[in-house]
Structure 1
């Protein structure tokens, strides 16, 4: 009897409670709300973490460009003012055009930031590959290149729309009133990595909604960018390999006096190569062209040395054709301590000078850079 009662009670305790439809809906709704809340928190947290990692990439990129701490702070201040969507679109590798627009727009009305630093930051981040040479005239500026216009003691951020050998058309952000036949003294400042600032002097001759027309007077000077350059005189060697195409055996041909004695004028022309012979006409198509490697050596004396460039005075001369044909040179320099410094780079002439050039490093590893700076400091050189 007791067993029957016990089994009855146990069976009664195992019965499932009755659940209504409203209870099920409440449970599902509660679980959904909690899940959405967790997803939202993780999403926001992930975006903040992504924002931090994105800034780290920008920070490293700026350091590789040689930005000072002040310039990095300016860039960070801009980045912190962006909203989440803008931060996601600011990508210096995948979205250069959109990133440039955001930073340029931000800089337009930031008068508290020196105009030269704004031009340098924009130029270094977005135009360095297109502006890696020293300009000799306004014709060497690039379409879209960022610059500043100084007129009536005021400076404005702008960029190049059109250019010619003596004139630049600059973007007009409605700073100046329209006018033609003007002659307002002005200057245009642009920045070139490794060379510093370049200032073109001239006059603003007209202003319209289409742009500001600047007439270049022919005077150009460098401004800034050499603070880390030290005045040092050291002998250096420069060399490059030039690849020249020519007819095989052309230089081995020699003409002796006996070859042209007692010959007719036509025969002499054939020997001298002024008139092809019948045999040469038939074989002209079969001539082989060979590529000859010529090594070119030049000696020079340094004037300024930095971890960005070497300014030097060339011994002898060098033609524009050689500079144009040979883009990569190697410099060799031995310091008084016996330390050998070697690097590859480009040679560009300094404007208004026949024998002064700049050697701009193509790449310089951290070890070589530190060694160079150490040797320069050891010499106790004066910094400009």
Structure 2
């Protein structure tokens, strides 16, 4: 009599294969689980860091650059950076200085935003207004060197070069120092290299570059840079998704210079200045009587005269080509004002 149910006969090799496949599936699930948890932890740490970077006025491009590098760190280091801002500052400073992909101007801006010292909003008109701890780009001939001011005295600045070194024959030659202040923009001081030291130099300044400025009405389109963390008081993306920023504001300049412009805005925008860090501006520069060329910039918008509802836009990020277009336009405009064409008749 045959049994009601009989287990199929299997050989030993089939059992081993089945056990191996089962173990492989369990291992795959475990690895996927660990990878998912690691990514979730990375994103949590990164959101904390990103929010801090926005408070330091880092732009979305700068934050993207930092994220691509920082997110590759081990989770333990990332956790330490997220929980201790001094550790984060130290890690970022080392990365920026040693970066092979950034130019000195980019390094300078990011380092100054990390430093965020008391002079962050002060303009630089001469070498006496430079402070120890200011980061600087030393431009000599076609070479650029990232440095930090160690001491300032008698129109001279002692600068320690952070990367590279200047040749001895650079002594006595003309050079330019580039500075950046997070709330005031970029500044240039011309002068000469007085002495080459071991690891640095002594720079003798002869004055900051004069700012080109004139009264002119130019079309401007202002928008808020939309990026998570760019708003004070917003703690999560859901809040940001439900947050309605003002639509592009179309206004005209009252005054414009090589470092910013003044506009009139409606009273309702006063409240917005407390929420956003970075604004974007597109400015139309006349080429002739018919056509215009647009330049783009990012900057900080603040109240200049509350009673008159006048606002000052400071350039913080502007491409060198757009900066040159603006400079040439201002020079052309100032030349016309200083040397008006003779009246006919």
Q: Does 1:124 align with 2:109?
A: no
**What displacement does 1:303 show?**
0.6
**What displacement does 1:373 show?**
7.4
Residue aligned with 2:206, SS:
strand
Aligned-partner Cα distance in 2 for 1:125–1:138:
22
Residue aligned with 2:273, SS:
coil
Which residue of structure 2 aligns with residue 71 of structure 1? 62
Aligned-partner Cα distance in 1 for 2:276–2:134:
33
Which residue of structure 1 aligns with residue 273 of structure 2? 364
Is the 2:191–2:204 Cα contact (8 Å) retained in structure 1?
Answer: yes
Aligned-partner Cα distance in 2 for 1:75–1:102:
11
What 5-or-longer segments of structure 1 have no aligned partner? 1-37, 224-229, 234-300, 313-332, 345-362
**What displacement does 1:108 show?**
2.6
Is the 2:147–2:159 Cα contact (8 Å) retained in structure 1?
Answer: yes
Is the 1:176–1:207 Cα contact (8 Å) retained in structure 2?
Answer: no
Q: TM-score, normalised by structure 2?
A: 0.51
- Picking from 72, 76, 95, the partner of 2:85 is 95
Aligned-partner Cα distance in 1 for 2:208–2:101:
29
Q: TM-score, normalised by structure 1?
A: 0.47
- Picking from 87, 90, 93, the partner of 1:104 is 93
Which residue of structure 1 aligns with residue 191 of structure 2? 202
Is the 1:170–1:211 Cα contact (8 Å) retained in structure 2?
Answer: yes
**What displacement does 1:43 show?**
9.1
Aligned-partner Cα distance in 2 for 1:142–1:373:
30
Is the 2:191–2:206 Cα contact (8 Å) retained in structure 1?
Answer: yes
369 and 75 in structure 1: CA distance in 2 versus 1, 3 angstrom threshold: closer
**What displacement does 1:198 show?**
1.0
Larger Rg belongs to? 1
Which residue of structure 1 aligns with residue 129 of structure 2? 140
Is the 2:96–2:111 Cα contact (8 Å) retained in structure 1?
Answer: no
**What displacement does 1:189 show?**
1.1
Which residue of structure 1 aligns with residue 237 of structure 2? none
What 5-or-longer segments of structure 2 have no aligned partner? 1-29, 221-252, 285-291, 296-325, 327-345
What RMSD over aligned residues (CA atoms) do the two structures have, in Å?
Answer: 4.6
Q: Does 1:115 align with 2:42?
A: no
116 and 196 in structure 1: CA distance in 2 versus 1, 3 angstrom threshold: same
Aligned-partner Cα distance in 2 for 1:222–1:79:
38
